């Protein structure tokens, strides 16, 4: 798991380091890393424009500029403020860097091979002043590579929200990733994120982001003693006359995620479609180890009774879509709620904009209120537990933002619940594996095709576990 830290936590850790290493500094380590990446990106004969602010971030840029000039690269520096890091200025001047103003800097964007953004660091305010924004937009329009120091200037370190900022090709950050590096849409401005260890010690992360290996080790791969019951029996009550496809997609997700057995109890016409197209599915009541409820129910008057009937046996459930509007006061232990932002807003009695502005806080309120784990779907997918722990699924391509993806995801998660995974792991692994499968088939593949790709992906993990 990738740990994410706040700006305040980084500052505290840096202060502890300074107190333990009096007379030493971290800027040299940071600047050396910036210079190495800049040299790689610009090439040994590349021309570089370094845009520097007044603080330590600008100091990193100045010392990196000096190192690049010592390697023989022509380096121009635009100081965007009246003052700059003095030792860095002296080093850059001594190495032969050339200082330019805003007009020349903007003109040079079309001529350079790399722009180094060292304007604002973790202490900067969101947004850019107009002349800096104009240069950033010119670099983006011309396709000039940008190396951002710590974060693309203009982003809010601890926020997922998009701001006027540089659009980095690569961001080099220090000690740990911050929220803007990993949460969408801000992360879309960061490009490739490289985290450099500069020697400071950090505490617990505010949230964690899953990697592919975290998903693989949690996936329930069957062994030689497994049978259909030990692998998990999933009950699926989904679909309606208006939305039969939601049921078909949920069953498809469960089937290709490896459910040991599926019992479908939804209504026609979904039942007939599933009988004709997915012959391994069992139809009718019976004992199950997890339920999937709510996908494609619509706004029927009997939704509340329909959900209560499925929750009566006390097994954990994935509760999706229309069932989220009729939750009982108490849910069985181990349930997973899978709303998108609009559904979560309705559950909380809030506006969608409020959820989008604070997705983690909103999901945590729902988790506290219901006692269930909440998987908030979207460009970044948050898995939030009632105790406040937050994890983020492996990101996937934006092609998956289409109708039916959530239905498939609910089926995958229900399979994982039935196999015995805790709700938080089922949400994390389910959302991640769908994203990973979609990344293997880039383009507008429909959700049921992505479900088939899940089987191919996890099948590789099964092969590895047998070796």
Q: Which residues are annotated as a binding site for AMP?
A: 406
Strands 48-52 and 282-283: unpaired
Backbone angles phi, psi at 48, to 5 degrees: -125, 135
- d(C-alpha 278, C-alpha 417), whole Å: 21
Other beta carbons within 10 Å of 332? 18
Distances (CA, A) of 425 to 88, 98, 294, 450: 47, 54, 21, 20
- d(C-alpha 427, C-alpha 450), whole Å: 17
* Annotation: binding site: 56-60, 117, 121-127, 150, 153, 246, 296, 340, 406-407
Contact 166, 189 (CB under 8 A): yes
Strand partners of residue 337: 319, 374
* Annotation: binding site for (6S)-NADPHX: 56-60, 121-127, 150, 246, 296, 340, 407
Backbone angles phi, psi at 256, to 5 degrees: -85, -5
């Amino acid at each position: 798991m990738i740990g994410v830290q706040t700006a305040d936590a980084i500052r505290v850790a840096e202060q502890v380091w300074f107190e333990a290493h009096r007379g030493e500094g971290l800027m040299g380590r940071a600047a050396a890393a910036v210079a190495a990446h800049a040299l790689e990106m610009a090439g040994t004969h590349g021309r570089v424009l370094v845009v520097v602010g007044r603080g330590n971030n600008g100091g990193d840029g100045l010392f990196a500029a000096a190192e690049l000039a010592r390697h023989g690269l022509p380096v121009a520096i635009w100081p965007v403020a009246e003052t700059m890091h003095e030792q860095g200025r002296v080093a850059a001047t001594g190495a032969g860097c050339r200082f330019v103003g805003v007009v020349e800097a903007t003109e040079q964007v079309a001529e350079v091979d790399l722009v180094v953004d060292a304007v604002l660091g973790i202490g900067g305010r969101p947004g850019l002043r107009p002349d800096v924004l104009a240069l950033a937009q010119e670099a983006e329009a011309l396709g000039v590579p940008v190396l951002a120091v710590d974060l693309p200037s203009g982003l809010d370190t601890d926020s997922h929200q998009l701001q006027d900022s540089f659009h980095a090709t690569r961001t080099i950050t220090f000690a740990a990733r911050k929220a803007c590096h990993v949460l969408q849409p801000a992360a879309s401005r960061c490009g490739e994120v490289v985290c450099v260890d500069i020697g400071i010690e950090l505490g617990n992360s505010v949230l964690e982001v899953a990697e592919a290996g975290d998903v693989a080790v949690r996936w329930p791969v069957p062994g030689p003693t497994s049978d259909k019951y030990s692998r998990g029996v999933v009950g699926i009550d989904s679909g309606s006359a208006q939305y039969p496809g939601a049921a078909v997609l949920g069953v498809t997700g469960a089937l290709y995620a490896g459910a040991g057995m599926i019992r479908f109890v939804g209504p026609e016409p979904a039942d007939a479609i599933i009988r004709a197209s997915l012959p391994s599915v069992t139809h009718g009541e019976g004992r199950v180890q997890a339920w999937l409820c709510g996908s494609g129910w619509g706004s029927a008057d009997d939704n509340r009774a329909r959900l209560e009937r499925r929750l009566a046996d006390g097994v954990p459930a994935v509760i999706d879509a229309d069932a989220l509007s009729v939750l009982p006061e108490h849910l069985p232990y181990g349930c997973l709620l899978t709303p998108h932002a609009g559904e979560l807003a309705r559950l909380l009695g809030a506006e969608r904009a409020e959820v989008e502005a604070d997705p983690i806080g909103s999901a945590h309120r729902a988790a506290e209120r219901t006692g269930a784990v909440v998987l908030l779907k979207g460009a970044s997918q948050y898995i939030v537990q009632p105790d406040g722990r937050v994890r983020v699924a492996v990101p996937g391509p934006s092609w998956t933002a289409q109708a039916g993806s959530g239905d498939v995801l609910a089926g995958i998660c229900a399979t994982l619940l039935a196999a015995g995974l805790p709700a938080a792991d089922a949400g994390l692994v389910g959302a991640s594996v769908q994203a990973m499968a979609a990344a293997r088939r880039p383009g507008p593949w429909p959700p049921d095709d992505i479900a088939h790709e899940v089987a191919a992906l996890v099948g590789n993990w099964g092969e590895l576990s047998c070796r």
